[in-house]
Amino acid sequence: MIENVGNELKAYFEGKPLLSSLLVLDMYILLGCSVLRFLDIFVYLGGIISGLLFYVFILGILLCIANKNFFALIIGLGIEALINLIYLIRYLARHYGFSWSSLFGLLIYGFFTYMAFKKYSAKTGT
């Protein structure tokens, strides 16, 4: 099913001049944004930059799905799950409470990381 979505996304992106040129940079966009979002945990980059990084991160995910680059999805979504795990641990340590948004983010990004891993391992035959 994800192959059909990837094929349609690729057809759509190839029809747009700017997005078709970004298809070759899918892994670099996703991993670059993931690393900068991870850096944003420790060094405050600013609200506007953090917001822009999130939207470029989503674009990187879509580009990787269009190119069927599941290895980059594993790394990018795994970093995002790690970010949510760090936020959950920080919230538990500081407030002695519970952060539902970090928990749901961890579960969702962790699930999608696992699904990308399954797809990658089925694709490579391991």
Mean pLDDT of 48-55: 95
12-51 as b/e: b if 16+ CB within 10 A:
ebeeeeebeebbeebbebbbbbbebbeebeeeeeeeeeee
Number of domains in the chain: 1
Mean pLDDT of the chain: 93
Q: What is the pLDDT of residue 95?
A: 73
Of 32-36, 94-98, 121-125, the one with minimum mean pLDDT is: 94-98
Q: How many Å apart are CA 34 and CA 57, to the nearest integer?
A: 7
Contact in structure between 103 and 88 (CB atoms under 8 Å): yes
Q: What is the pLDDT of residue 77?
A: 97
Mean pLDDT of 62-87: 96
Q: What is the pLDDT of residue 99?
A: 85
Q: What is the pLDDT of residue 126?
A: 60
Domain hosting residue 54, numbered range:
2-124
Contact in structure between 104 and 70 (CB atoms under 8 Å): no
Mean pLDDT of 85-93: 91
Mean pLDDT of 32-50: 94
The band of 93, judged by pLDDT with boundaries at 50, 70 and 90, is: confident
